[in-house]
Structure 1
Amino acid sequence: MGDATNIIVGTAGKAYRAEVGATFPTGPEETWGTGWTDLGFVTPDGLEEALAEERTQLDAWGEDAPVVDLAKKRTQTFKLTFRETNAYMLSLYYQVKLASMTSTPAVTTGTARKQFLAFGSGSLSDTVEIALGLDVIMSGKRHRIMIARAGVSDRESVKHNGDDSSNYGLTFTALAAPGGAQSVQHFITDVTLPA
C-alpha cells in the first residue's frame, strides 16, 4: 500500500554558493554557515537534477548475457534558472572571477553617475568553480543537496525584453571533490531506512 506522505512536491527552494572547500551544514535543518551566499530568486521551474552513467559490459564465451557490468563514469547535473542579476550570477554566467571585476562607485556631486560593475569575458583561463548548496523545500520536508565542487557546464541564452526578467539558466556539473571526499551529498528529512 502506498503512502501519500512520501510524495515530494518541491514548492520552494534556494541555491547557495561558497568557495570550494567551504564547510557544509551537518544536517538538513541547519542554517548555511559563514561563507555561503544566497544566489537569489529561482524561477518557478525549480531544480532539475539528472544522473547519467557511462557503462561497460564484458561478455564471456558461451554466455548469452554480459558477465560484468561496470560503471565507468557518473555525471550529476543540476539545472536552475535564476532571476536576479548580481555579481555572483554574472561571475558564473560569464566565467569571470570576482577578483577580475571592477566596481566603480556612484558619483553624487557635479555630474551624477550611477555605480557600475565592469569586466571582460572570453578568457578560458578564468574558470569559475564553486561549492554549491541546494535546498528543495516541500510541505515541511527538506531535501538538501551539497556539491563540494561544481562548474557551469551549460548556459541558456539571456533574453533582454519587456516580457520577462533577464534570466540566467545555468546547468552545474558536479566535479571531483578535493581530497577524495564525496562529490555530492544528500540529506532528505522524514525518509526512514528499512530495518
Structure 2
Amino acid sequence: MGDASTIIVGTAGKAYMAEVGSTFPVGPEEVWGSDFTDMGFVTPDGLEEALEEERTQLDAWGEDAPVVDLARKRTQTFKLAFRQTTAPLLSLYYQVAYANMTSTAAVTTPTAKKQFLSFGSGSLSDTVEISLGLDVIMSGKRHRIMIARAGVTDRESIKHNPEDSSNFGLTFTALAAPGGAQSVQHFVTDVALPTL
C-alpha cells in the first residue's frame, strides 16, 4: 500500500564544497564543518542525479540466458546550475586553480576603480577537484549526498542577457575516493530498513 509520507520533493537544497580529503558530517542533520563553503543560490531546477553502469554478461554453452552479469563500471553524476558569480564557481567552470587567479584591489584616487579578478583559461595543466556536499530538503526530510572527490565533466553555456542571471551549469562526476573510501555516501532521513 502506498505511503505518501515516504515521498520526497526537493523543495529546497544546498551545495557545499571543500578541499579533497575534508571530513564530512556524520549524519544528515549535522552542521557542515568549517572546511565546507556554501556554493550559493541554485536555480529552481534543483539537483539532477544520475547513475550509469557498464555491464559485462557472460554466456554458457547450452544456456539461453547469461549466467553472469557483472558491473564493470559505475559513473555517478550530479548536475546543478548556480546563480551567483564567485571565485569558486569561476575556478570550477574555467578549471583555473586559485593560485592562477589574481585579485586587483579597488582604488579610490585619482580615479575610482573597482576590484577585479583576472585569470586565463584554456590550460589543460589545471585540474580543479573538490569534495562536494549536497542537501535535498523537504518539510524536515533530508537526503544528504557526500562526494569525496568530484570533478566538473560538463558545463552548460553561460548566457549573458537581460532575461536571466548568468548561470553556471555544472555536472560533477564522482571520482575514486582517496584511500579506497566510498566515493559517494548517502544519508536519507525517515527511511526504515526492512527486517530480514
Q: Paired residue for 2:90?
A: 90
Matched, 1:4 2:1: no
Q: Which residue of 1 aligns with 2:110?
A: 110
Deviates more, 1:140-149 or 1:104-113: 104-113
Q: Secondary structure, in 3 states, of the residue corresponding to 1:93? A: helix
Give yes or no for the alignment of 1:19 onto 2:19: yes
- Residue 162 of structure 1 corresponds to 162
Give the distance between the partners of 2:160 and 2:17, measured in 1 at CA: 25
After superposition, residues 37-76 of structure 1 pair within 5 angstroms as: 37-76=37-76
Take 2:12 and 2:147, find their aligned partners in 1: how far apart are those partners?
Answer: 19
Deviation at 1:20, TM superposition (A): 0.1
1:36-77, CA deviations, whole angstroms, 9 ceiling, x for partnerless residues?
Answer: 000000000000000000000000000000000000000000
Q: Deviations over 1:5-44 (max 9, x none)?
A: 0001000000000000000000010110021000000000
Which secondary structure state, in structure 2, belongs to the residue aligned with residue 54 of structure 1? strand
The whole-number CA distance in structure 2 between the counterparts of 1:60 and 1:97 is 51
Paired residues in the alignment total 195
Provide the rounded CA distance (Å) in 1 between the counterparts of 2:19 and 2:43: 24
Structure 1 counterpart of 2:78: 78
Q: Percent identical across equivalent pairs?
A: 83
Match of 1:184 in 2: 184
Report the counterpart of residue 134 of structure 1 in structure 2.
134
Aligned partners of 1:180, 1:159: CA distance in 2, in Å? Answer: 39
TM-score (norm 1): 0.99
Separation of aligned partners in 2, 1:98 and 1:2: 50
- Matched to 2:183, the amino acid is S
Tell me the amino acid that sits aligned with residue 119 of structure 1.
Answer: F
**Letter of the aligned partner of 1:146 in structure 2?**
M
State the match for 2:30 in structure 1: 30
Q: TM-score, normalised by structure 2?
A: 0.99
Shift in Å at residue 109 of structure 1?
A: 2.0
Equivalent AA in structure 2 for residue 36 of structure 1: F
Helix, strand or coil at the partner of 1:71: strand
Report the alpha carbon displacement of residue 111 of structure 1 after superposing the two structures with TM: 1.2
Aligned-residue offset at 1:118: 0.4
Aligned residues: CA RMSD? 0.5
| Rounded Cα–Cα distance in structure 2 between residues aligned with 1:139 and 1:63 | 51
Instruction: Give the aligned residue type for 1:176.
Output: A
The SS at the match of 2:136 is strand
Deviation at 1:139, TM superposition (A): 1.3
How far apart, in 2, do the equivalents of 1:64 and 1:139 lie? 49
CA distance in 1, matches of 2:34, 2:82: 22
Q: Provide the C-alpha distance between the structure 2 equivalents of 1:194 and 1:54, rounded to a whole number of angstroms.
A: 29
